[in-house]
Amino acid sequence: MSTASILPTAARGKRIPTIRRLAAWLTSRARDPKAALWLVTGFAVVHAVLWTLILVNLKNGQDVHMDVAEAFAWGQKFLLGYGKHPPLSGWVAGVWFMIFPITDWATYALAMATLGVGLVICWLLALRVVDHRRAFFVVVMLALYPIFNFKGFKYNPDLLQLVTLPLVVLAYFDAFEKRSIKSGVWLGLAGALALMTKYWVLTMIGAIGLAALIHPARLQFLRSPAPWVAIATLAVAMLPHLIWLKQVDFVPLTYAGDTYSLTDRAMIDDLALGYVGHNLALLALPVVLGAIALVWRPWRLTPFPAFARGANSGVNTSQALNVWIIQAVVAIGPPLGAVIFRVYIKTDWGIPLFFLMPLALIAIPAVRVRSVSLLNLTATWLVISLVVLAVSPRIVAYELGEKRTSGATYRARSELARELTEAWHTRFHSRWPVVAAYTDTGQPVTFYSPDHPAPLTPDEPWSSGLTSLDDAKRSGFIGICQVGDWKLEKCEAWMKAHAANAERMVMTTRRFFLGMPGPATAWNIFIVPPAK
């Protein structure tokens, strides 16, 4: 009787010091300036590797997303712009696939490597605002934010902004503190790098500008050379791209105007509400898990108090005010602007705009972050990642069993690309130069074909610059129209106008995975031979 009552206490006595030792070890590494960099870098690498493996499992049986394939296609030529967007995402993809094989897993590794770099930069940024312990807590919260895991599967300009926008904010914090010429140069270069990712970053640049004007210490900053040197540096760094914009008659702006202008007031309001709801839902997971980690006492029934009064030496309130202003502006501004100016707003545009939210919450001086809180949150991240890795094959099997394979990603465009490459080689004994198809078909075909033909989109006024209709007619091309697609009639009309003498054929592709068939897709094919 006495032995039975003593054993649980003894076991509990052994467990509590173990947890405390782990928490103390993690905190000591997070607080040590030298060890902290290795801790955060190692955490980012492990996160990237784990979630690359998870995504490879979850996306098995699917083709890569057309945005990923588009970035790959852009990277085949290092241009100053690609029709719809500035060039940085294409350049990064081009360099990446010079090193890594052109396979599905490499695209997921690219996305996760991008996010891993973003985590490290966000940690450097957080150190300008909070102490080392809080900064590491912020990084783990970000790793639990779905944009940095599940939703981060597709590499595109939106995802790359999770590197370039934190760099801009970091450079702004540096310039705000030092107010020197050198810090202004770095801020200008960071702004140019962000603008070369996507013009949407003007939202964040505008928020930084408002923060500089609203902050109580604005006069010290504005009277220094930093902001004016930054503006001049940005203008000079962007000059080559601006010259390109003029040469192509501002095609990206045409693309934006053609694609995202709306007149239906009800639709505009619904899209703005959907944007807000979508981003709130995504933020809920890291915020809730972070709050639980802050208050949970292992092996105790009573929670830690989450808030405490008094000064907090772990928070730089001046920089924290910058964080709060910037995050508030980029949270409220886009949906409000969409309603006022009647423009389409995509939920994905919120991907790069909320990386400051964990820092904004942890920078509240009343919030207390204890050593065990770091262990709580890190253990939560690790358990979730390992559980998802373990069950990911079953998730795919369940989706296939439920026949949830009707989406575009399950159409066997990779098989189509290989069959068409063989058809071209059989007829012309040369490399297949151009594929003419709409983006959801043409870009994946470019990715999967061993020849990686340049994509040409029918009737698209914002050409990527990778090829042209005249080039396609000289070199020959293969046109593809998907049977049953809502654009079929338009596609067929373009082929009739530009591939009238083409050899016509019909192909049907279907992918089998885990012994189960995916959707069968029929394609109308137009093979135009090279000009003699």
Whether residues 271 and 327 fall in one domain: yes
Tell me: the pLDDT tens digits for 440-454? 999 999 999 999 999
The amino acid that residue 61 corresponds to is G
Q: Rounded to two decimals, what is the model's pTM?
A: 0.92
Task: Please tell me the least confidently modeled range out of 2-6, 128-132, 245-249.
Answer: 2-6
pLDDT at residue 409 in the model: 73
Domain around 358: 19-62+103-166+251-388
- Residue 183, pLDDT above cutoff 80: yes
Given a contact cutoff of 8 angstroms between Cβ atoms, the answer to whether 372 and 37 are in contact is no
Give pLDDT tens digits for 488-532. 999 999 999 999 999 999 999 988 877 777 788 999 999 999 997
| Within a domain: 312 | yes
Q: Are residues 352 and 498 in the same domain?
A: no
Q: How confident is the model at residue 311 (pLDDT cuts 50, 70, 90)?
A: confident
pLDDT band at 402 (very low <50, low <70, confident <90, very high): low
Q: Examine the domain organization and report whether 420 and 330 are in the same domain.
A: no
User: Residues 423, 304: one domain?
Assistant: no
Query: Residue 24 pLDDT > 60, yes or no?
Result: yes
- pLDDT above 70 covers what percent of the chain? 94
**Rounded Cα gap, residues 428 and 443, in angstroms:** 22
> Percent of the chain having pLDDT more than 90?
73
Residue 236 falls within a domain, yes or no?
A: no
Considering 58-67, 75-84, 92-101, the range whose residues carry the highest mean pLDDT is: 92-101
Does residue 274 have a pLDDT over 70?
A: yes
Q: Is residue 240 part of a domain?
A: no
Spatial contact of 449 and 422, defined as CB atoms under 8 Å apart: no
124 and 35 in a single domain? The answer is yes
Rounded to whole angstroms, the Cα distance separating 71 from 78 reads 11
Rounded (10°) CA dihedral 443, 447, 449, 450: 150
Answer with the one of 333, 355, 388 that is the final residue of a domain: 388
Same domain, 457 and 522: yes
Q: Based on the structure, what is the number of domains in the chain?
A: 2
Asked whether residue 155 falls in the same domain as residue 288, the answer is yes
Q: Is residue 395 part of a domain?
A: no
Q: Same domain for 522 and 466?
A: yes
279 and 340 part of one domain:
yes
Q: CA 248 to CA 78: how far, in whole Å? A: 16
Instruction: Give the pLDDT score at 407.
Output: 65
Q: Do residues 378 and 431 share a domain?
A: no
Q: What are phi and psi of 282, to 5 degrees?
A: -65, -35
Contact by Cβ (8 Å): 170, 140: no
Q: Is the same domain home to 137 and 268?
A: yes
Q: Count each helix (H run) and each strand (E run) in the chain, helices first.
A: 20, 7
Range of weakest confidence among 257-261, 352-356, 387-391, 490-494: 257-261
* Domain annotation covers residue 359: yes
Q: Say yes or no: 255 and 373 in one domain.
A: yes
